[in-house]
Amino acid sequence: MLQETIARVRAEIEAADLATAEQLDQFRIAYTGRKGQLADLFDQLKTVEPTDRRAVGQELNQLKQLAQARFEERQQQLEAGAANAPADPTFDYTLPPVPQALGTRHPLSLVREEIVRILARIGFNVAEGPEIEDDWHNFTALNFPENHPARDMQDTFFVKSGGADSAEAKAPASYLLRTHTSPVQVRVMQAQQPPIRSIMPGRVYRNEAISARAHMMFHQVEALFIDENVSFADLKQTVYYFVQELFGDDVQVRFRPSFFPFTEPSAEIDITCLICKGAGCNICKGTGWVEIGGAGMVDPAVLEQSGIDPERYSGYAWGMGIERITMLKYQIKDLRLFTENDTRFLRQFESLL
Ligand SMILES: [Zn+2]
């Protein structure tokens, strides 16, 4: 009697239509649930003759496993189908993808980071200072005396507080946008005693008309080394190392005598033209050399004003424009390209990352 019921229920379970989630739920309630037919059949097991009970029990267990297997298989199929179903049934999967535009690093950032890496390898750390600087750090401490004609060498943006008609605005300005990164050298010397081995990368400002060759805002990096017995030979070796690391082993360096208020002696640094390899072209105006920066031994008066004993210590300083280096390294001919944010220009540096 019970065996006949089991056979009928088995046939029902095997034939059940489980197309939808509703049908699957009804199946669970009707067969495998706590009040379903299987639970009922297990209850009836006690009415079976003891001799048959074991065999019928096994048959019931197999039926229960069959029902659970059908239920779980279909449940997984339905869940997977729901996960893959499009949120918007009208979405066209054949459309080409929209490319994800990744930003690139700016060529000036790439070159600045390269310069920092090269000099960090020989022990230079990075120092920073304010872009709004006071007159003393930008000029006086660096040997530009009041009314000295050297101050006219740099056209300066002065910064005043207060409204246009206020008393502060009419008084002479004591703050300015730094015209070079050298005031950071002064700040480093004021803050620590030698040995000092620092580089100062940063943005500087000059009151200039913007053209292919000049800008009112650009970047410099300077290196300062102060210790006992530092000589011009140390300066030359550091510059040779730096140029060869940045531009390659076959690039030559030469020093030309020059003048800066804060170094004595002073020199300009030239390297062999990267375009013509020294043969002469229109970039180097036929000379085979291009200037990359200035250098010199720190003037003893600058050391003294910054709180360092010039009788005991000496040091060198050298610096260059990051735009200038970048233009030489990548043969960029117009300074304005750096600030125009034209992605056709900027994207060319992707492959250099
Ligand atoms: Zn050349």
What is the 272 CA–ligand 1 centroid distance (Å)?
Answer: 8
What is the 212 CA–ligand 1 centroid distance (Å)?
Answer: 18
Q: Which residue has better confidence, 135 or 314?
A: 314
Q: Which residue has better confidence, 219 or 164?
A: 219
66, 113, 330 from 179: Cα distances, Å: 85, 22, 25
What is the 284 CA–ligand 1 centroid distance (Å)?
Answer: 4
Domains in the chain with CATH codes: 2-81 (no CATH), 107-352 (3.30.930.10)
Judge if pTM exceeds 0.75: no
1, 104, 269, 270, 321 from 257: Cα distances, Å: 117, 40, 9, 11, 19
pLDDT of residue 352: 54
Question: Confidence class of residue 353 from pLDDT cuts 50, 70 and 90?
Answer: very low
**Would the pLDDT of 351 be above 90?**
no
pLDDT of residue 183: 92
CA atoms 29, 34, 40, 45: torsion sign: positive
pLDDT of residue 169: 61
What is the 222 CA–ligand 1 centroid distance (Å)?
Answer: 25
Choice among 16-20, 80-84, 178-182 with the minimum mean pLDDT:
80-84
- pLDDT of 47-102, one tens digit each? 888 888 888 889 989 999 999 998 898 888 888 877 666 667 787 888 888 887 77
- pLDDT of 202-258, one tens digit each? 999 988 888 888 888 999 999 999 999 999 999 999 999 999 999 999 899 999 999
What is the 327 CA–ligand 1 centroid distance (Å)?
Answer: 13
Q: Which residues, chain by chain, have CB under 5 Å from ion ligand 1?
A: 273, 275-276, 281, 283-284
What is the 252 CA–ligand 1 centroid distance (Å)?
Answer: 13
Residue 191 and residue 120: Cα distance in Å, rounded? 20
Using a pLDDT cut of 90, give the percent of the chain over it: 44
What is the 343 CA–ligand 1 centroid distance (Å)?
Answer: 29
pLDDT of residue 313: 96
pLDDT of residue 282: 81
Q: Residue type for 233, please?
A: A
Residue 327 and residue 325: Cα distance in Å, rounded? 5
What is the 91 CA–ligand 1 centroid distance (Å)?
Answer: 58
Residue 223 and residue 236: Cα distance in Å, rounded? 13
| Average pLDDT value for residue range 135-144 | 88
Helix axes 107-120, 322-330, angle to 10 degrees: 100
What is the 204 CA–ligand 1 centroid distance (Å)?
Answer: 28
What is the 8-class DSSP label of residue 98? P
Q: Which residue has better confidence, 194 or 1?
A: 194
**Would the pLDDT of 173 be above 70?**
no
What is the 199 CA–ligand 1 centroid distance (Å)?
Answer: 29
182 — phi, psi (to 5°)?
A: -60, -35
- pLDDT of 281-299, one tens digit each? 887 888 999 999 999 999 9
What is the 331 CA–ligand 1 centroid distance (Å)?
Answer: 11
Cα end-to-end span (Å), the chain:
81
